[in-house]
Amino acid sequence: MHWIDPDSLPETAGTFERFVLNPHGEVDGFVMKDKKTLILVHTPPHMDTEITRHLKQGEKVRVRVVRPRGADLLAAVAVTTAGGREIVDNGPDHDREHPKVKHIPMAADGTIELSLFGPKGELRGALLSDGTVLRIGPKEAEHIAALLAPGATVAARGDGLVTKHGRVIHVDEIGPDEDRLKRIKKPKPKDKKPKHGHPHAHAA
């Protein structure tokens, strides 16, 4: 069970627009619209099956949420569909694993519609206006926040996959256009310290 009682939380409503995917192709949130404002809602991947079964584009959706500091994001504890079905975050199954999926090289370019954040408010990528999800680790995303801001023009390459709920790219290279792509520096593993005198011994 989630430690927060959903009924104690404020409720926000909107019209369901589209799902948001994580790098494994699981749904870990969605976008809803309130009047003309787009709202990013985070849902944990273990709610994927119920969320995708019961949310339909253009239908009303209500969410009971917590709002992380410093991020334009609502983290859902409960989602109520247009038909009145309440989907509550009761925590993950302990034996749950990520789906086995095959990633392929993919590229995308366009305008950023929304920045994407993790449940604690950390920047995790962006949603393009064509619906493509760009995913980047939070440490790397911090350094290129301007490229992931709404309205920015961006080009990206990486390993991606297409599901019936959209397409997602785990970004390796990103820039303002295809001619100015830069490789994203991945964080170094903490347990591998380079030996003295061999600074490139563990370079990726």
CATH of the domain at 138: 2.40.50.140
Residue 198 has pLDDT above 80, yes or no: no
**How confident is residue 81, by pLDDT bands cut at 50, 70 and 90?**
very high
One domain, residues 171 and 109: yes
Residue type present at position 80: T
- Report the chain's terminal Cα–Cα distance, integer Å: 41
Residue 1 has pLDDT above 50, yes or no: no
Helix, strand, or coil (residue 165): coil
Give the HSE-up count for residue 20: Cα atoms under 13 Å, Cβ half-sphere: 28
Helix, strand, or coil (residue 148): helix
Domain span holding position 179? 104-183
Report the pLDDT value the prediction gives residue 92, as an integer from 0 to 100: 78
Does a structural domain hold residue 49? yes
Report the pLDDT value the prediction gives residue 191, as an integer from 0 to 100: 53
One domain, residues 112 and 77: no
Does a structural domain hold residue 94? no
User: How many structural domains does the chain have?
Assistant: 2
**Mean pLDDT to the nearest integer, 157-172:** 96
- Chain segment 41-77, per-residue pLDDT in tens: 999 999 999 999 999 999 999 999 999 888 889 999 9
One domain, residues 78 and 36: yes
Does a structural domain hold residue 190? no
- Chain segment 146-156, per-residue pLDDT in tens: 999 999 999 99
**Mean pLDDT to the nearest integer, 130-151:** 95
**Mean pLDDT to the nearest integer, 120-148:** 95
Average pLDDT, the chain: 89
Instruction: Round to whole Å and give the CA distance between 66 and 73.
Output: 9
Residue 203 has pLDDT above 80, yes or no: no
One domain, residues 126 and 58: no
Does a structural domain hold residue 175? yes
State the pTM of this model. Answer: 0.86
One domain, residues 25 and 83: yes
Between 67 and 30, the more confident residue is 30
Structure tokens at 51: 């969320």
Q: Which of the residue ranges 58-67, 78-87, 90-99, 189-198 would you say has the lowest mean pLDDT? A: 189-198
One domain, residues 49 and 109: no
One domain, residues 12 and 83: yes
One domain, residues 82 and 112: no
Residue 140 has pLDDT above 50, yes or no: yes
- Report how far apart, in Å, the C-alpha atoms of 33 and of each of 43, 61, 133, 183 are: 16, 10, 17, 34
Does a structural domain hold residue 95? no
Does a structural domain hold residue 63? yes
Does a structural domain hold residue 99? no
Residue 90 has pLDDT above 60, yes or no: yes
